[in-house]
Amino acid sequence: MFMILTCTIIAFTITSLTMLMCTIISKTSKKDREKSSPFECGFDPMSSSRTPFSIQFFLIAVLFLIFDIEIAIMLPIILTLKLSLSKEWIVTILIFIIILIIGLYHEWNNGVLEWTN
C-alpha cells in the first residue's frame, strides 16, 4: 500500500513540475504588436485581412475533398478486383460508382458547380 502511495505522489509531483515549467517557459507578451499585425510579404496590408471567403469557393473546396476521399477508397478496389472476380464484388463497385454519379448529377443540377451566378 505504501509503495502505491509513494509512486502516485512521485507521478503527481513530476507532472505538476512539468506543467509548471511549461507554463513559465511559454509566457509571452500579450501586447506584442508585430505578432498580432497581419503579414503580407513584408508590406502593410492594402485592405482588411479579415475578408470573408466566397461561399462558392468553399463549396468547390469541400466537393474536391469529398471526391478525393472517394478516389482514395476506389484505388484499393481496383487492386483487389484481380484477386476476386465475384458477382457480389462487381455489384458493390457498380453501386458505389452509381451513387457517386447520382451525387455529382444532383450537385450539378442544383448549380453548386457553377462558379458565377
> Residue ranges of the domains in the chain?
55-109
47: helix, strand or coil? coil
Return the pLDDT at 117: 57
Tens digit of each residue's pLDDT, the chain (117 residues): 888 899 999 999 999 999 999 888 877 655 666 666 666 566 666 666 666 767 777 777 888 888 888 888 878 877 777 777 778 777 888 888 898 889 888 888 887 777 765
C-alpha cell at 47: 485592405
CA dist 98 and 58 (Å) reads 25
